[in-house]
Amino acid sequence: MRIATWNVNSITARLPRLLAWLESSGTDVLCLQEAKTTSDAFPAAELRELGYECAVNATGRWNGVAVISRAGLEDVVVGLPGGPDYEGVQEPRAISATCGPVRVWSVYVPNGREVGHDHYAYKLRWLEALNTAVAQDAAGERPFAVLGDFNIAPTDEDVWDPSLFEGATHVTPAERAALAALRDAGLSDVVPRPLKYDRPYTYWDYRLLGFPKNKGMRIDLVYGNGPFAAAVKDSYVDREERKGKGASDHAPVVVDLDV
């Protein structure tokens, strides 16, 4: 079973590439982030033609998440139970579903903007709510994983130049402690380094030739429970999909399971 996570940075802009990638990669379940559309406008019909069902949590603007599956789609939970509001709105940043033998969450963790900003405090509250929401599934015997754009680089090795990120979001002790809390709940990072590259980044800024110069970050993560981690047979970052015209600024992260 092949499961992936991908921040597509607008499914409307990326739809031809997404459809082609699903066909060529043989992905069974895709956790998608930053749809930048509404649930009604989500291209479910085009995906259905390829044999995929869709569970979507999207209201337009900058967020939006989905689970796209050809392995079944049951017990869908839209949103983050107990999650905080931001400026009075429950943002569409989480959705979960059971896909055959595996249960997954697709998450788009708040960016945080700047340390000390209200959005940074919101990010930490959101991560605390995520930890609470996934605890039962994490402790279960069914393979379970939280996949998505966490907007956190787990270690200094996960950014191209740590000195440039001092005092910035994505690398602060508080954010990394939130990831450690997920590990304490029984989830672990199942995409190990070095993979096929010394620095397997998943995001490169469009500006200043970020991708050609490999000035990236590893912020798209797969955190699985013990049964999920035990089933992992291979994992990789599909850097090829970051290349060329019309690419997202994130690459897909792919995990193969024996389930």
- Which residue out of 108, 120, 122, 201 is catalytically annotated? 108
What is the radius of gyration, based on Cα positions, of the chain?
Answer: 17
Whether 170 sits among the annotated catalytic residues: the reply is: no
Q: Give catalytic status of residue 189 as yes or no.
A: no
Which residue among 28, 122, 137, 149 is the active-site one?
149
Separation between Cα atoms, residue 152 and residue 120, nearest integer Å: 12
Check the annotation: does 214 bind a ligand: no
Residue 34 marked in a binding site: yes
Which residue's structure tokens are 């895709």? 30
- 167 token code pair: 């005092």
Q: Quote the tokens at residue 103.
A: 């249960």
Residue pair 212/249 in contact (Cβ under 8 Å)? The answer is no
Would you call 117 a catalytic residue per the annotation? no
Burial class of 248 by CB neighbour count within 10 A (0 to 12, 13 to 18, 19+): buried
**What distance in Å separates the CA atoms of residue 179 and residue 171, rounded to the nearest whole number?**
11
Can you say how many angstroms the Cα of residue 69 is from the centroid of all Cα atoms in its chain? 15
Active-site entry in 122, 158, 223, 250: 250
**Is 137 known as a binding-site position?**
no
Query: Measuring CA to CA, which residue among 179, 188, 169, 192 is closest to residue 228?
Result: 188
Say how far apart CA 247 and CA 185 lie, in whole Å.
35
Query: CA 31 to CA 8: how far, in whole Å?
Result: 10
Q: Which two tokens stand for residue 49?
A: 């033609």
151 is in an annotated binding site: yes
Q: Which residues does the annotation mark as catalytic?
A: 108, 149, 250
Binding residues for Mg(2+): 7, 34, 149, 151, 249-250
Annotated binding-site residues read 7, 34, 149, 151, 249-250
